[in-house]
A and B are shown apart, each in its own frame.
Chain A
């Protein structure tokens, strides 16, 4: 079946460091891919998305490129801030079923001043 695997955390970085959170997926067809973010004590928010191969999603300085050849959707940010401390979830929606999301387990990020 379809699945999402993302790197285990926690990830701890200093402010202004480069961030990469790896995400790979297994899916049939052409799923859409997403990154959601969960700030402490809050619900999840959509951070960015990509709906077809080679699409790049971007938001708030974060980027991720849909790589079909490597089945990956890695999240990157060039310079993290303390306010980026959160849990990040990679997810996919199955082709033809755009409301069922398959979730990764989440990666906790802590950014120190």
Chain B
């Protein structure tokens, strides 16, 4: 089954304790992305990756790191979590579309989400 998986689904931790949220997709997608979802703020992009070893900042990258050593995996790392990083996190992936000034959009597939609480 084609899917994006995230682990853990729920995590409660304390300020300053490093954590990693894993994301894996089995669709051979080039593009992967991390979002956080907060009440009243909607979805905001944290980081994205166009392909292996290619990552870039989204709209709210502060306090987060990512890596893309393999095509299927895109972990989100919080080196020193703080309470303002309490949120619902989603990983997403999609195919990289072809070239051209206006490329056809490729659907983003989302993982089930990780609810993180930082005390």
Residues of A within 8 A of B (CB): 30, 32, 34, 41-46, 49, 51, 89, 93, 95-96, 98-101, 103-106
* Alpha-carbon distance A34/B105, docked complex (angstroms): 10
* Alpha-carbon distance A49/B105, docked complex (angstroms): 9
B102:A99 contact, CB within 8 angstroms: no
B43:A30 contact, CB within 8 angstroms: no
Known A-B contacts A89-B42, A104-B42; A43 and B111 likewise in contact (beta carbons under 8 Å)? yes
B102:A101 contact, CB within 8 angstroms: no
Within 8 A of A (CB), among B3-60: 4, 31, 33, 40-45, 48, 50, 58
Partner of A46, one of B50, B102, B108: B108
B45 to chain A, nearest CB (A): 7
Q: Give the residues in chain A near B102, CB-CB below 8 Å.
A: 30, 95-96, 98
State the main secondary structure of chain B at its contact with A. Answer: loop
A105:B105 contact, CB within 8 angstroms: no
Q: Can you name 12 A-B residue pairings with CB atoms under 8 Å? A: A43-B90, A43-B92, A43-B110, A43-B111, A44-B43, A44-B110, A46-B107, A89-B42, A96-B101, A98-B102, A99-B94, A100-B45
Closest to B94 in A: A99
- Interface centre among A42, A43, A89, A98, by most chain B C-beta atoms within 10 angstroms, is A43
Closest to A95 in B: B102
* Alpha-carbon distance A103/B42, docked complex (angstroms): 7
B90:A51 contact, CB within 8 angstroms: no
